[in-house]
Structure 1
């Protein structure tokens, strides 16, 4: 998986990496049981501090997207359960609230907003079925 980092973005580098790994899992670009680069290797490849990559991997582990073995490294969770927790739903609502607020303030209609969400969700469903 090729990561594209925008060093000029307001989105922190660790969040960009995390988002792209989660998208990679959702689209099937990263498959269940696949090994990810080591912390030091990924940091060297991108040209960032290894603590940044370590933070990403730790968060992905806490959220259940990867498992970390001392010997075999970081692996995409082989048994993705798709657990739907109350904590996740609350986080989803908070994130969507901010996105919806910004879309509203920019004059995007409800129909266009919902159309964009449906298109993005459908893209993941199609790619995930492959």
Structure 2
């Protein structure tokens, strides 16, 4: 998996890293039980502070995407990612509300918005199928 961070983005680096690792899991580029680079190694490879990588790994661990064990390092959760529950659905709703509101303000209708969501969702499924 190739990670590319934008130093010019308004999105914090740790958040970009979290999102790219989650995308790698969704696209089946990263598999359950697969080792991730050490914090120090990934920070060096990306040219960022090791605390940034550590923060990203901690967030991924808190959300059930990875496990971190002393001596063994970090790896994709071997039991898979926890399924969407009520708390996740509430978080999803809270995240989507401002995106939908902005889309409406910018003149997008429901059909266009839904189509864009379907395109993105399908792109993940296609990438996941091609990496099997």
TM-score in terms of structure 2 length: 0.92
Instruction: Quote the offset at 1:82 in angstroms.
Output: 3.4
**Distance change (3 Å), C-alpha of 1:81 and 1:6:** closer
Instruction: Quote the offset at 1:81 in angstroms.
Output: 4.4
1:12 paired residue number: 12
Alignment of 1:71-86 (within 5 A): 71-86=71-86
User: Following the alignment from structure 2 to structure 1, what is the Cα–Cα distance between the partners of residues 69 and 115?
Assistant: 41
1:109 paired residue number: 109
Three-state SS of the structure 2 residue aligned to 1:74 is strand
Instruction: Quote the offset at 1:125 in angstroms.
Output: 2.7
Relative contact order: is structure 1 or structure 2 higher (C-alpha 8 Å, sep ≥ 6)? 2
2:37 paired residue number: 37
> Structure 2, unaligned stretches of length 5 or more?
none
For the Cα contact (< 8 Å) 2:65–2:81, is it kept in 1? no
User: Following the alignment from structure 1 to structure 2, what is the Cα–Cα distance between the partners of residues 72 and 23?
Assistant: 23
User: Following the alignment from structure 1 to structure 2, what is the Cα–Cα distance between the partners of residues 125 and 2?
Assistant: 18
Alignment of 1:48-127 (within 5 A): 48-127=48-127
User: Following the alignment from structure 1 to structure 2, what is the Cα–Cα distance between the partners of residues 81 and 12?
Assistant: 24
Report runs of 4+ in structure 1 exceeding 4 Å deviation: none
> Structure 1, unaligned stretches of length 5 or more?
none
Residues 104-113 or 22-31, more deviating: 104-113
Instruction: Quote the offset at 1:34 in angstroms.
Output: 0.8
